[in-house]
Amino acid sequence: MIQLNLDLNYLTQYFNINTHRLNEYSSKSIEEIIELEAQEGNQAAHLIASAMKNPDKLVNLLLLLDPKNRYLIITNLSQTDLKKLLPYLEQEDLLWGLRYFRVDKIIEMLNKLPTEQIMRVVLQRFSLKDIFLLMPQEDIDKFFENPEVERKEVMKYFESLNPADLERILMYQFGNSIKDKTQEEQLSFLESMRDRDFTKMLQNMERYDQVGLMIGLVKEKPELMEQISPENITRPMRVMEKQDILNCMDVLDPEFLIPMVEELPPDLLQVVATQIDPRVFAQILINDFPDVLSKIAL
């Protein structure tokens, strides 16, 4: 039996069951009470049966506004059934549930999301520059080797630079031989390089210039972020406090938060599920869990 904390005054007045009979029913389920009242010819049996099919009445009958009562019922659900409640939780309730995880676990789960969703979260607090500055050099080198980073796009970026910046970048690697060339000649020099040498030149650029190039490429072609590992995208978040990370995650739709909450152990999942709206919970009990209702005792 599921023994709830109920309002006897409501039961005696609305259902016309006196206190003496309620005391006799203390160990009986609602279904048993309905049967006994029906045998006595009491109209209360019909009223209770009606309440068991009406969400608003059921909220009052079972005092579902009290989170303790919701929790007592929810603890009787299986792990599978418990997860069925999560789609009915508000986004803020799901985020509240994630506070039970450690920061490293939250970031680990973030890394499993589609890149587009990870970027939505990270860009709440950090910029592309922050992400690329923290990337290991080895991963930046691999980025420039990726076939998705097209040479023509890199050249478009170089063409967009002011002459002084382009000259500085080239002089860093090729010395004064570049200084006397016009911008057009410098660009022509880059065009003439073999692909392997061109990539090597990108890998040998100063870190600040590499980051600038990566930002320019990604702004023109956002899908290039797919070539960067989730761990590198979320790296800046590792210095953040847990609540600050969760605040950034409020841009995620519930469909991405629910699988994360599902990783909680059963006892904590029960606590999170208790945040469900009482009327919604009543409707779910009526539709999906009549067997659970049958176990509730007054």
Positive/negative CA dihedral, 276, 279, 280, 281 = positive
Q: How far is CA 166 from CA 126, 130, 153, 203, in A?
A: 27, 23, 15, 16
The H-or-E segment that residue 254 falls in is helix 254-261
Mean pLDDT of 111-120: 97
| Helix 137-145 and helix 207-220, axial crossing angle in degrees, nearest 10 | 50
Higher pLDDT, 244 or 2: 244
Q: How does the average pLDDT of the chain come out, rounded?
A: 87
Mean pLDDT of 56-77: 88
Q: Which two tokens stand for residue 62?
A: 């079972």
Residue 177: pLDDT above 70? yes
How confident is the model over 202-249, as pLDDT tens digits? Answer: 999 999 999 999 999 999 999 999 999 999 999 999 999 999 999 999
Q: How far is it, in rounded angstroms, from Cα 205 to Cα 192? A: 18
Q: What pLDDT is recorded for position 143?
A: 97
Mean pLDDT of 37-41: 60
Q: Please enumerate in sequence order all residues whose Cβ is within 8 A of that of 295, keeping only pairs 6 or more positions apart, or say none.
A: 1, 2, 29, 76
Q: What pLDDT is recorded for position 113?
A: 98
At residue 175 the predicted structure's pLDDT band, cuts being 50, 70 and 90, is confident
